[in-house]
Amino acid sequence: MFSIQYQGTSTLMQKAINRYLKQFFLFGQSTVGSSLTLTLTVQDESGSLYLGVDESYTLTASSSGASLNSTTVFGAMKGLETFSQLLDWSSPSSTYLLSRLPLQISDAPRFPWRGLLIDSSRHFLPVSAIKRQIDALSYTKLNTLHWHITDAQSFPIYSASYPNLSAKGAYAPSAIYSTAEVQDIISYGYERGVRVVPEFDIPGHAASWGASDPALVVNCTKYNHNINNIPLDPTKEHTYEVLSGFLNEMSKMFLDAVHVGGDEIVFGCWESDPAVSSWMKQHGMTTGVELAQYFEDRLFNSVLPSTKQIVVWQDLFDNGVQIPNNTIIQVWSDVADLKTVTSSGFKGLISAGWYLNEQVPVPGSTHGDFMDTWMDFYLNEPTNGLTPEEASLVLGGEGCIWGEHVDGLVLDAMVWPRTVAIAERLWSSVDVTSTTQAKPRIQEMSCRLQQRGIGSAPLLPGFCLVP
């Protein structure tokens, strides 16, 4: 019979071991040829999860035994996942076979930030659907869930300080995440080595803030035909009071980073509002970019908690808005923009070329089958064209599944298995580029995800045996 020998004291590690003992033997058998023991050793059992945490591990195995050694609990989790993928179920003998023996694997990710963005504003996503994504992230060795919580369409998160934001800004009372549910999602991610990074998109895409308090947003009739055009009103002290109270309340729940958007601000909306335009003239401003600079200065200097790593979309940088140089900039428009960001000394994330909802995620590369876009994702190398110094500032990247046409029923199949291609690109060496060799790996991983309860779509014709 198979067993794991762990003599440490980490409850977090023991929970992971218990989970994987179930994942190892989904078909109800616990025999791996003859009896085998996996000895697991973790040097640092503190369990601190943060950007850049050591996720390396060493795994050795032979017919007489196996050992897994890591610096942290989170590295050990990655090693357990690798071990699970070495176990092959044999239907004829009703046993598991540990293949490719003897083996020695020394493994570590290439980038520290490897994630997926989900959008719960355009469509409310049930907690169960979010947890499935966290599970799948852990199975594919991704480590960040970027939770785009608020946008123009709805405000689905409860705030004790400002309960009307969700009471009047959400689609329905049942489409609101309670504080307990948010904490549960964060804890669920932590136990699986997945950081949950919230995004509250401001100052643009802010119509849902105004549902409960119209004074928070700008009334620009010229642009109101598109709900995405409506921004916060940066000229009112009330705006900053609400933002400070809300963002500080939210930041206490999340681990180490907060995303505050900054994308697609419709400057014309500010400029065409008589009250805002008058305020701008009184303060010597003539353009929306200047007002955006004022807003971001207030946001960074007096609103945002100093203990959090702040992330923004590239639009602020593109528009010449000055932001602190320790801000992480997420590039979504063009892969080439990552060079501009990093050559300016900013740390960057790449999402350009990894939009899972787009028919043509990489301009000029089209496929007859939507599922085949995984090849574009796989070949989208973040460091192409960068100098070594610029490449050192690339923290990683995220696949993005925007929610205009995605709800909890279709989420899994829209994300998986194509995101496996992104996961491999962010983990593996830069010279691992063969889509021919990757295809069977991704198809196998898609079946493994299905076996573990994720609604991953098939990449190729075939059959997946599900327990």
| pLDDT over 90 percentage in the chain | 90
The answer on 11 and 45 residing in a single domain is yes
Give residue 29's pLDDT band: very low, low, confident or very high (50, 70, 90).
Answer: low
**Which of 76-90, 92-106, 382-396 reaches the highest mean pLDDT?**
382-396
The answer on 236 and 91 residing in a single domain is no
Q: Residue range 382-401: average pLDDT?
A: 98
Q: Does pTM top 0.85 for this prediction?
A: yes
The answer on 151 and 91 residing in a single domain is no
pLDDT tens for each residue of 208-231: 999 999 999 998 889 989 999 999
Give residue 358's pLDDT band: very low, low, confident or very high (50, 70, 90).
Answer: very high
Q: What is the pLDDT of residue 95?
A: 80
Q: What is the pLDDT of residue 371?
A: 94
Q: In 299-427, where does DSSP find H-type helix?
A: 315-318, 337-343, 374-379, 388-391, 411-415, 418-427
Whether residue 464 lies inside any domain: the answer is: no
Q: What is the pLDDT of residue 406?
A: 98
| pLDDT over 70 percentage in the chain | 99
The single residue listed with the structure tokens 């900054």 is 262
pLDDT tens for each residue of 241-284: 999 999 999 999 998 999 999 999 999 999 999 999 999 999 99
Q: Residue range 107-118: average pLDDT?
A: 98
pLDDT tens for each residue of 52-70: 999 999 999 998 899 999 9
The amino acid occupying position 305 is P
Question: Would the pLDDT of 31 be above 80?
Answer: no
CB–CB of 112/52 below 8 Å? yes
Whether residue 54 lies inside any domain: the answer is: yes
Whether residue 172 lies inside any domain: the answer is: yes
> Could you tell me which of 154, 56, 61, 164 has the C-alpha nearest to residue 104?
61
Give residue 36's pLDDT band: very low, low, confident or very high (50, 70, 90).
Answer: confident
Higher pLDDT, 160 or 220: 160
Whether residue 465 lies inside any domain: the answer is: no
Q: What is the pLDDT of residue 112?
A: 98
Strand, coil or helix: what is 220?
A: coil
The answer on 216 and 83 residing in a single domain is no
Single residue among 78, 107, 136 that ends a domain in this structure? 107
Cα–Cα distance for residue pair 362/155, rounded to 1 Å? 31
Ranges assigned E (strand) in 76-176:
87-90, 95-98, 103-107, 113-119, 144-150
Whether residue 339 lies inside any domain: the answer is: yes
Q: Is 398 a catalytic residue?
A: no
Could you tell me the CATH number of the domain that includes residue 210?
Answer: 3.20.20.80
The answer on 139 and 19 residing in a single domain is no
The answer on 201 and 54 residing in a single domain is no
What do you get for the CA distance between the two ends of the chain, in Å?
A: 21
Helix, strand and coil in the chain, % to nearest 5: 35, 20, 40
Higher pLDDT, 136 or 363: 136
Q: What is the pLDDT of residue 160?
A: 98
Domain that holds residue 34: 2-107
Give residue 185's pLDDT band: very low, low, confident or very high (50, 70, 90).
Answer: very high
> Could you tell me which of 20, 81, 8, 18 has the C-alpha nearest to residue 46?
8
Single residue among 41, 76, 107 that ends a domain in this structure? 107
Count how many domains the chain has. Answer: 2
The answer on 135 and 77 residing in a single domain is no
Cα–Cα distance for residue pair 194/53, rounded to 1 Å? 11
The answer on 352 and 212 residing in a single domain is yes
The answer on 42 and 157 residing in a single domain is no
Cα–Cα distance for residue pair 2/27, rounded to 1 Å? 14
Give residue 30's pLDDT band: very low, low, confident or very high (50, 70, 90).
Answer: low
Question: Would the pLDDT of 197 be above 80?
Answer: yes
Could you tell me the CATH number of the domain that includes residue 39?
Answer: 3.30.379.10
Q: Among 1-5, 119-123, 223-227, name the one with the lowest average pLDDT.
A: 1-5
Whether residue 459 lies inside any domain: the answer is: no
Give residue 430's pLDDT band: very low, low, confident or very high (50, 70, 90).
Answer: very high
Mean pLDDT of the chain: 95
Question: Would the pLDDT of 457 be above 90?
Answer: yes
Cα–Cα distance for residue pair 392/331, rounded to 1 Å? 16
Q: Is the peptide bond before 173 cis (omega within 30 degrees of 0)?
A: no
> Could you tell me which of 415, 412, 411, 377 has the C-alpha nearest to residue 397?
377
Question: Would the pLDDT of 13 be above 80?
Answer: yes
DSSP-assigned letter for residue 230: P
The single residue listed with the structure tokens 């697609």 is 264
Give residue 27's pLDDT band: very low, low, confident or very high (50, 70, 90).
Answer: confident
The answer on 353 and 402 residing in a single domain is yes
Question: Would the pLDDT of 76 be above 60?
Answer: yes
Q: Residue range 2-16: average pLDDT?
A: 95
Question: Would the pLDDT of 150 be above 90?
Answer: yes
Strand, coil or helix: what is 47?
A: coil
Q: Which of 45, 181, 249, 264 is catalytic?
A: 264
Give residue 327's pLDDT band: very low, low, confident or very high (50, 70, 90).
Answer: very high
